[in-house]
């Protein structure tokens, strides 16, 4: 079967197309990566090139040694992935030390994975360990309302999370552990990768102030669903503030009642 016809590549492409239509991916904004399963890579082995050029990741991820990742290319547009997957996405293999990568399929234009590959791989490394290998997707987008809120909400995990939990009753059920916030930093390097992965130890959603958001998930549905849910909460928040602000809201006691009945472990640090 052709790489582009496989279920995992089709799932990847569907996310990029859905997400572009959401308005989260202006120009080349945002990027996506998927840690490929052994049986999936085995099924397309005949179409992969031998690793030629090994390039430094910029961070060390030993528990990802010899893994394969499907990833969007740097400078490539999400809206074009569905039209020409081989030009815009590719498969990268990690070396035996977890310090270098080589492209073995795709990325025929541009040739390199996203500039946020260090953040993607550090997040994959953390999540692989924490979930015993279940987590496979890391997703970065530029959703409008989340970015807007980073100009008005305090940039700390507690206040950002609490405000978004209040915006829809089921939001605390979707992200009970909360949301991490990285202050403004230069994107595309190892420093922001380290700051993000530290928060990914605790959360599945991390906001980058004045830039966008990272989400993790076991599959494309889960990562996309988290992005969608957090961005919708942010949209409600922007509307509420535009209408003069809250006149009533969900109380901390309401949250505790919800947690009890839905049997979720709501992060108590974020309640008073
Ligand atoms: P890339 O084109 O390198 O993926 O960069 C887009 C982006 O959103 C950087 O944060
Ligand atoms: Zn970005």
Q: What number does CATH give the domain 143-272?
A: 3.40.225.10
**Nearest ligand (C-alpha, residue 107):** 1
| pLDDT recorded at residue 195 | 98
| Ligand 1 pocket test target in 16, 24, 27, 29 with most atoms within 8 Å of CB | 29
| pLDDT recorded at residue 230 | 98
Would the pTM of this model clear 0.85, i.e. be above it? yes
**Nearest ligand (C-alpha, residue 78):** 1
Per the annotation, the verdict on 116 as an active-site residue is yes
| pLDDT recorded at residue 189 | 94
> Which ranges of the chain have pLDDT less than 70?
none
**From ligand 1's centre to the CA of 209, what distance in Å?**
15
**From ligand 1's centre to the CA of 80, what distance in Å?**
15
∠ CA 200-182-89, rounded to 5°: 65
Q: Ligand 1, residue 115: give the atom nearest the CA.
A: 3
Q: What residues have their beta carbon closer than 5 A to ion ligand 2?
A: 212
| pLDDT recorded at residue 239 | 98
Residue ranges, CATH 3.40.225.10, the chain: 1-115, 143-272
Q: What number does CATH give the domain 1-115?
A: 3.40.225.10
């Amino acid at each position: 079967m052709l790489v582009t016809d496989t279920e995992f590549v089709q799932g990847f492409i569907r996310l990029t197309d859905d997400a572009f239509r959401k308005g989260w991916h202006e120009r080349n904004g945002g990027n996506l990566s998927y840690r490929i399963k052994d049986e999936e890579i085995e099924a397309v082995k005949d179409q992969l090139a031998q690793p030629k050029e090994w390039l430094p990741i910029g961070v060390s991820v030993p528990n990802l040694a010899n893994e394969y990742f499907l990833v969007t290319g740097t400078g490539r547009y999400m809206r074009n992935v569905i039209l020409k997957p081989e030009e815009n996405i590719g498969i990268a293999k990690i070396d035996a030390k977890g310090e270098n990568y080589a492209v073995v399929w795709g990325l025929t234009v541009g040739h390199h994975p996203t500039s946020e590959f260090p953040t993607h791989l550090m997040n994959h490394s953390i999540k692989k360990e924490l979930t015993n290998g279940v987590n496979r997707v890391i997703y970065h987008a530029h959703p409008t309302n989340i970015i807007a809120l980073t100009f008005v909400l305090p940039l700390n995990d507690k206040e950002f999370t609490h405000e978004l939990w209040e915006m829809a009753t089921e939001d605390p059920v979707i992200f009970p552990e909360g949301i991490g916030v990285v202050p403004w930093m230069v994107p595309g390097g190892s420093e922001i990768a380290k700051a993000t992965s530290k928060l990914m130890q605790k959360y599945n959603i991390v906001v980058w102030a004045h830039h966008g958001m990272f989400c993790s998930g076991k599959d494309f549905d889960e990562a996309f669903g988290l992005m969608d849910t957090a961005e919708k909460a942010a949209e409600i928040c922007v509307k509420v503030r535009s209408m003069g602000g809250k006149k009533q809201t969900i109380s901390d006691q309401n949250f505790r009642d919800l947690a009890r009945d839905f049997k979720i472990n709501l992060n108590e640090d974020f309640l008073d």
